[in-house]
Amino acid sequence: MSDQPSILQLILDASLIVQAVLLLLLGASVVSWAIIVRKRRLLRATQAEAARFEAVFWSGGDLGALYRGIEAKAGTATGMEGIFEAGFGEFSRLRTQPGTVPAQVLEGVQRAMRVAQLREIDRLEESLATLATVGSTSPYVGLFGTVWGIMGAFRGLGNVQQATLAMVAPGISEALIATAMGLFAAIPAVVAYNRYADQVSRLELRYDTFMEEFSTLLQRHAASRSS
């Protein structure tokens, strides 16, 4: 039967500094996984909502009725719905003002949609910086714990006359756990950050395309009314 200490025992026997590093990395891992799960749900829901709204928008229905249906949500519309609501609402307001030329109407609509888009991107990017921070700093925090643990292991050899590998192995093993924990916290955070940042960029491009197409429709409508 093996008498090698378990990982849990190595952690319990580690110095306070190493234990503090492990606890910090564990907390960072828990926080990053919570962000990963929440952000995954948010982006999936946003992508599904954008696909659903585009299908309704391009179905040829009445845009006024679509706007009133979104407006009935009392400001809870997000994503592409929120951008459309901001643009169409501004269009409806400006075209009723006397003396407003089509170019001014279009400029106001584009500005309103851009503000709504910026708010939406900010909502989607929330907490991504935390994932980036965990992914970039966790390996170094783990390395600090490893270096500290190895220093403690070798300091313990100063009071013995004959040093053996068996004497220093437990100290080195507990120190290397900090490196492993740093990678355990960093790798999922880095992978998730890269994946989610790419999805946010794709959604931003999708919003830009919709805004250009919607602006073109409104420009034609405004020009036909003024002629």
Contact 134, 189 (CB under 8 A): yes
Q: How many domains does the chain have?
A: 1
The answer to whether residue 1 sits within a structural domain is no
- What confidence tens digit (pLDDT) does each residue in 178-196 have? 899 999 999 999 999 999 9
Pairwise CA distance, residues 129 & 98, whole Å: 46
Q: What is the pTM of this model?
A: 0.84
Mean pLDDT of 191-203: 97
Whole-angstrom CA distances from 155 to 23, 40, 122, 150 are 24, 46, 50, 8
- Tell me the residue range of the domain where 152 lies: 7-226
The answer to whether residue 2 sits within a structural domain is no
- What confidence tens digit (pLDDT) does each residue in 81-97 have? 999 999 999 998 888 77
- pLDDT at position 148 is 86
